[in-house]
Amino acid sequence: MDILSVLKDLAIIVVFAKAFGLLARKLKAPQVVGEIVAGLVVGPSVLGIVKLNDFLEICAGIGVVLLMFSAGIGTNLKQLMHTGVKALVIACSGVFVPLVGGTLLYMGFYGFSEIGTPKFFTAVFIGVIMTATSVSITVETLREMGKLKTELGTTILSAAIIDDVIGILVLTFVIGFKDPDSSPGWMALRALAFFALSIVLGFVTYKIFKVIDKRWPHTRRIPILALALCFGLSYVAEKYFGIADITGAYVAGIILSKLHDSTYIEQKLDINSYMIFGPIFFASIGLKTQINGISWELVLFSAAFVAVALGTKVIGCGAAARLCGFRGTDTLKVGVGMMTRGEVALIVAQRGLAEGMISSEYFTSVILLIIISSILTPIILKLLYSSAEPAA
């Protein structure tokens, strides 16, 4: 691993990721799918011109941290408070049902196992991967139809945000519980301590940033300090509290989300993210995915995985929506709007791989889920809206 081979790898990854990303967008699929395919194509599965190495792995890790930070800083806390209870109920139900569904699916395929065994945690992890909604495609679709600012649109958006938070909490706990030395009480205490620290630190940091923001608006020091906060909190979360680094990055983003210059920070960090670290992350998924020698069992499992992941979200969120007072096709719209998965599912899967909880073959299932849900959601949503409103 020397600088020359890294320069070559980066040049190849950056070009292929962009080219396949644009191609994916042409085909109405999300760009990230294209970037994953780019990784597949340049990797050992097809061309074999790029091999994963330590440098790329670490860059991929930085890419994930930046993505989660970006998700955090984009959070609209005000809107979240506003739609409040309804969104919370829908999100909880939309996390719980797929979590149980995924766990049972794995056990159905590979046999039931007792609580606490490694196999049990793998099963739960398959459930965890299914929890987080990625609402960007739904948002795009609703915006196109002019329905984003309706009560339904706001509720879906808020539920998807809460759903991310809960998903990350679940991930944190599952990873923590897996460790045989950690007692649930100790785990919970450390998590509580971290969130207490986050609130105190968040308050202090927010005040400091506000002063800098006011005195020197739009200066380089703001995104640079934000970047340091993001990296620093990721490190502290995992090192001292046993909480996933990506949770730390997400919290760092939320801390800065109400800042006046938050969009400025987001823009600057996004450039780092989309130019180098983001493409490396998504391409690295492709580099790790084995397409030669896929077993029939995995194909079958992946099909069932996609069906369960989509079905449980629609049922979980739809039923909760009905409880909250939505009626008719509106309940279905909420369910379908919440069923898209994206980056976060990949990030969770990546985390599980790093912790040794799942093997890399399940990436295939997750990628399939992202592609299929991203294609189906806009189509079904449009159908639901056009069937509900007779042509004027």
Instruction: Tell which one of 34, 101, 176, 223 touches a second copy (CB under 8 A).
Output: 223
Give the residue among 375, 389, 363 at the shortest CA–CA distance from 36.
Answer: 363
Binding of a second copy by 22 (CB under 8 A):
yes
**26 counts as binding a second copy under rule CB under 8 A:** no
User: Is residue 275 near a second copy by the rule CB under 8 A?
Assistant: yes
CB 285, min distance to a second copy, A: 16
Whether 388 and 329 have beta carbons less than 8 Å apart is answered as: yes
Q: Does residue 1 belong to the site contacting a second copy (CB under 8 A)?
A: yes
Tokens representing residue 55 in the block: 């440098």
Q: Which amino acid is at 339?
A: M
Could you say whether residue 239 binds a second copy (CB under 8 A)?
yes
**CA angle, 164 as apex, 290 and 376 as ends, to 5°?**
60
CA distance 244 to 65: 10
Per CB under 8 A, contacts with a second copy among 253-272 are 268-269, 271-272
CB proximity list for 306: less than 8 A, separation 6 or greater: 365, 368, 369, 372, 373
CB of 199 to a second copy, least distance (A): 20
Closest CA to 188 of 180, 202, 198, 177: 177
Decide: is 227 part of the binding site for a second copy (CB under 8 A): yes
Q: Which is nearer to a second copy, 223 or 286 (CB)?
A: 223
Q: Whole-angstrom Cα distance, residue 48 to residue 291? A: 13
Rg (CA), the chain: 21
What is the distance between the terminal CA atoms of the chain, rounded to a whole angstrom?
A: 64
Closest CA to 256 of 239, 274, 233: 233
Question: Which of residues 4 and 85 has its CB atom nearest to a second copy in the complex?
Answer: 4
Sole binder of a second copy in the list 27, 58, 192, 196 (CB under 8 A): 58
Q: Is 61 in the site for a second copy (CB under 8 A)?
A: yes
Which range in 58-66, 158-166, 181-189, 329-337 contacts a second copy by CB under 8 A?
Answer: 58-66
**Nearest to a second copy of 15, 77 (CB atom):** 15
168 and 198 in contact (C-beta within 8 Å)? no
Window 191-220: residues binding a second copy (CB under 8 A):
220
- Does 27 bind a second copy (CB under 8 A)? Our answer is no
By C-alpha distance, which of 206, 191, 181 is closest to 260?
206
Site track for a second copy across 114-143, x = CB under 8 A:
------------------------------
When the beta carbons of 86 and 268 are compared against a second copy, the nearer one is 268
CA distance 91 to 163: 5
Which residues of the shown chain bind a second copy in the complex (CB under 8 A)? 1-4, 6-8, 10-11, 14-15, 18, 22, 54-55, 57-58, 61-62, 65, 220-221, 223-225, 227-229, 231-232, 234-235, 238-239, 245, 268-269, 271-272, 274-276
